[in-house]
Amino acid sequence: MSTRSSHRPVDVQFDCLPLRSVTRLDPPLDASPALIGKWKRIKSAIQNHGTHNSYYLHNATCRFFVTNNPNAGMIAFKFEGVLFTDTADSKAIRCCLSVNLDQENVPWLEQHVVDWFTETVSNAVIEEFNQFIQAGDSQKTKQRIEQLEKTLADSGGFLGMGL
């Protein structure tokens, strides 16, 4: 007997901030402590990785379903960090993520399995981002990149931080 599951074995969700779109690195004066923390992490990502072909993923979760019942066999992680694409912005190639176990309902779960799934999050995110790219309108993306490059050239090569 075969039954079809209505859920996917891996569920990845994230908000995506193209780092090249960040024009200032100081948080608003009335920002909450949580928002200030996020601004600091984004600023650190820009300083460590640059802005070209890099995307900051945040408000992000990755859930793995190890049984056909999401109420018994789900391992969920929260993550945040940078995803890098190739030079044409057409394919995700790697990520640098901070990943933390958020919840699970797997009574037989052992720490080495949690560690393995923690490492697997990056691979799942890359695949999800590639599907996101493929589903998008690549021509519109190319036009946005050309506009950003024109803005960069017109500004003398400086975007952000009031330079």
- Kindly report, residue by residue over 103-126, the tens digit of the pLDDT: 999 999 999 999 999 999 999 999
pLDDT at position 10: 94
pLDDT category, 25, cuts 50, 70, 90? confident
In the chain, where the domains are located: 10-154
Q: Which residues contact 3 (CB under 8 A, 6 or more apart)?
A: 68
**% the chain with pLDDT above 90:** 64
pLDDT at position 27: 84
Mean pLDDT of the chain: 86
- Of residues 136 and 143, more confidence is placed in 136
Q: Does this model's pTM top 0.85?
A: no
Cα–Cα distance for residue pair 154/131, rounded to 1 Å: 33
Question: What sign for the dihedral angle of Cα 76, 130, 40, 36?
Answer: negative
Report, as an integer, the average pLDDT of 83-110: 95
Lookup: tokens for 102: 């958020």
Q: What are the φ/ψ torsions at residue 22 (nearest 5 degrees)?
A: -75, 120
Report, as an integer, the average pLDDT of 40-67: 95
pLDDT category, 150, cuts 50, 70, 90? confident
For 66-94, letters b (16+ CB in 10 Å) and e give beeeeeebbbbbbbbbbbbbeeebeebee
pLDDT at position 142: 65
CB atoms within 10 A of CB 126: 19
Does residue 89 surpass a pLDDT of 70? yes
Does residue 93 surpass a pLDDT of 60? yes
Does residue 5 surpass a pLDDT of 50? no
